[in-house]
Structure 1
Amino acid sequence: MFLWWQWYGTKWIWLCGACTMIYLKPYTLAHKTLWNAFNADSKNGLFLFDRDYMDYHSDRFKDNSLLFYEEDKLLALLPLNITDNVLYSHQGLTFGGFITGRTMKQEKMLECFTLLRTFMQEQGISKLIYKAIPYIYHKIPSQEDLYALFVNNAQLFRVDCSSSIALPHPIALPKGRKSQITRAKRENVQINQSQDFAAFVTLLNEVLQSRHQSKAVHSAEELALLSKRFPEQIKLFVAHQAQTLLAGALVFVYPHLIHTQYLAVNDKGREIGALDLLLKTLIDTYAQSKTYFDFGISTESNGTFLNTGLISQKEGFGGRTITHQFYELLSSGGGGIIPYLLFPFLLFYSFISLLFYCGIANATTMRRG
């Protein structure tokens, strides 16, 4: 065991541990099986990071993903794409960041970031835009990357608000929400699972076009393809009155969380509470098997504008804010400041620790002799 004072990124910090060899490799198609198996068994892996999901839009994003090894064992994955000499993790995904195994610890993550920045410098890459995975998506605590970003002087430049329900601790619905749910039942609105992605995307694009002058990121064909690849993780639920589609929810199902990737409701459905009944049905369905119900973000313009009407609807179901955080990490780094006042004490402590270690080593040698 060693204690040493080391420059990491832009700051001097104390480390205590044994030296190990960590190195990285660029992702190639030959790594696909290994990548997918590691992602499935990782601390914070999601089906979004499975190559069968990531690569469906490989024609739109130039992949630059990396694998990090400790000696001969895979330690972490980093999904990346590159655009105009800038790395992103990841432009084609809701978020990105390091996917880590259970052996990942804080010191190892610091080493991974040092390697990453060296790689960026060698490749002439100016910076990394890093979208951290929100903690509610972690299987077990996995925020080693946030501390490493701080140590490397990464700048937090964007924060989005997402609304999530803690399903074991629900907040009571307001009277207005309950009355809309009751009305939908009285109007004989039916909730079912569906495979009619074409009808749903048509409804979704009509709503997006009328309200935001935009359209869905995914086409109906892409959603059908992804649902076929991930039938247990991607599901479509709809609300009908007779044969008329009123509302729909495309949900992503994670190990302990449900996320509404898309929500859409037409004017008639909004009037009679079709989406309210649909969401209440989904919340009740997953309340016993999941920990969180995540509605997604309600911010626009890189987080600077809060859509109060949208977030109010989500908060009306008991959703409360978690954040999506975006960081900019320069390959060149910034100026860290050495804590000079602490340096004499830390130097003395390091010297005593080294003497103590040498004493143990000498005693062990004498006993063996």
Structure 2
Amino acid sequence: MRTGKHPVTIERFHPDRHPFWDSFVKESNNGTLFHERTFLNYHPEDRFTDHSLVFLTDEKPVSLLPAVEYEQAGMKILHSHRGSSYGGFVQPHDMSLDMHLKITESFIHYLQQENINRVIITIPPIIYNKRLSNYAEFALFRHHFRYLKRDISSVLFLEKSIEENIAKFRPTTRTAFRKALKKGVTVRESDDYASFYQILKRNLKIRHNVQPTHTLKELEDIKRRYPDHVRLYAAFIGETMIAGIVLFDANERVTLAFYISHDESYQEYRGVNLLFKEVIEDSIRRGFTYLDYGIFTVNMEPNLGLARFKESFGAGGIFRDTFYLDLK
């Protein structure tokens, strides 16, 4: 395989040498909030060993890779990124296939020099690309990467008006949010993350016997880091919070429903149904193209009940892919 001129060099990320990281992500074709140092740095310094990379040609950055390294079962692993929903190579809008191939080839050579035994990469679903492209996946496969898993994320295309989106709801979902209105449920943005977190913890314990991804302190820290891009929408009966959705505005195209939860004792009020109707309307107003409801598979095992709930709003499924390569 031949690639063009301009060799790619790789530097390990250092904040003093690479202060441009977040601005590069914001201006990129596929970068998200989860790739930014502002987000990644909410993790305590001792949680991960950072091994993020900067790819350059002619001393100018052409790609970034947020990553951490760790050892598991005697293997040295590079993972992009273990502490984020998405990782992978952050690329400019106009990156050529030739450059994708060159970056991947240089990356593998770097991994071999660093004695990495396995690399794992979770890339953003294709809707996060401002200019649609599968060059990155092609370059990975061309260099013998394989799927580790292909989870499914529910995504809703946001029409020009809430009425057009409601037309895609199943009849039972339209009935449910109208029932919530009749029962006096109200929806508003809230800064009461503590009350929502109690609902979330209780719900996850009952349904899945797991803890939330973030502690309350971490969630509040992320909100402080992104005051305009992290939002809690909550449903109330009077002043009692009965359900909530925490949205992360991942990039200018997609807002992600990272947490969705309700108080089981107020199930009959259908607070989540009304919440999603309001979230969809507000996301349209704020100019997003997609609402990502998040995955309903865990290691490719589908939760069909959760799938049906998200489908009832008109959502479809797209891949959230994780790739790996074992190195000799």
TM range (shorter): over 0.9
Which residue type is aligned with residue 113 of structure 1?
Answer: T
- 1:237 equivalent in alignment to 2:233: yes
Alignment match, 2:10: 24
- Equivalent residues of 1:149, 1:329 under 8 A apart: no
Q: 1: distance between equivalents of 2:180 and 2:18?
A: 46
C-alpha separation in 1, matches of 2:5 and 2:177? 60
Aligned partner of 2:56 in structure 1 is 69
Distance in 1, Cα, partners of 2:12 & 2:273: 46
Deviates most, 287-296 or 233-242: 287-296
Choose from 54, 60, 80 the match for 2:67.
Answer: 80
- Higher Cα Rg, which structure: 1
Alignment partner of 1:284 is 2:270: no
Alpha-carbon separation, structure 2, partners of 1:31 and 1:216: 35
AA aligned to 1:178 is R
TM norm structure 1: 0.83
Partners of 1:143 and 1:245 in 2: CA distance? 42
Match of 2:22 among 36, 49, 52: 36
1:160 matches 2:151 = yes
SS at match of 1:235: strand
User: Secondary structure, in 3 states, of the residue corresponding to 1:129?
Assistant: strand
Aligned equivalent of 1:352: none
RMSD: 1.5
Distance 1:69 1:242 in 2: 56
1:284-334: per-residue Cα shift (whole Å, max 9, x none)?
22224211111000012x11x1101111100000110011111111233xx
**CA distance in structure 2 between the aligned counterparts of 1:102 and 1:270, rounded to whole angstroms:** 45
Within 1, Cα distance between the matches of 2:131 and 2:254?
A: 13
Cα shift at 1:31: 3.6
Change (3 A) 1:142 1:98: farther
The DSSP-based 3-state class of the residue aligned with 1:121 is helix
Displacement of 1:144? 2.0
Q: Counterparts of 2:215 and 2:4 in 1: how far apart (Å)?
A: 50
TM-score by length of 2: 0.93
Moved more, 169-178 or 50-59: 169-178
Query: Once the two structures are superposed, what CA deviation does each residue of 1:176-199 show, in whole Å capped at 9, x if it has no partner?
Result: 111211111011111011111111
Alpha-carbon distance in structure 2 between the residues aligned to 1:106 and 1:167: 30
Return the alpha-carbon distance in structure 2 between the equivalents of residues 216 and 123 of structure 1.
Answer: 34
Distance 1:34 1:129 in 2: 25
Question: Is the CA contact (8 Å cut-off) linking 2:4 and 2:98 kept in structure 1?
Answer: no
Q: Runs of 5+ in structure 2 lacking a partner?
A: none
Q: 1:99 to 1:146 in 2, by over 3 A?
A: same
The equivalent position to 1:106 in structure 2, one of 97, 100, 103, is 97
Mapping of 1:300-339 within 5 angstroms? 300=298, 302-303=299-300, 305-332=301-328
The reply to whether residue 60 of structure 1 matches residue 47 of structure 2 is yes
Match status 1:260 vs 2:253: no
Whole-Å separation in 2 of the counterparts to 1:18 and 1:95: 29
Q: Distance in 2 between matches of 1:18 and 1:325?
A: 29
- Percent identity over the alignment is 27
> What's the counterpart of residue 247 of structure 2?
251
- The structure 2 residue matched to 1:298, chosen from 284, 296, 299, is 296
Q: 1:21: Cα distance to partner? A: 2.1
Q: Distance in 1 between matches of 2:15 and 2:170?
A: 51
User: Which runs of 5 or more residues in structure 1 are unaligned?
Assistant: 1-5, 7-14, 333-369
- Provide closer, same or farther for how the CA distance between residues 178 and 81 of structure 1 changes in structure 2, counting only shifts above 3 A: same
What is the CA deviation profile of residues 79-99 of structure 1, one whole-angstrom value per residue up to 9, with x for unaligned ones? 111111101011101011000
Structure 1 residue 103 displacement after superposition: 4.4
| Equivalent position SS for 2:16 | helix
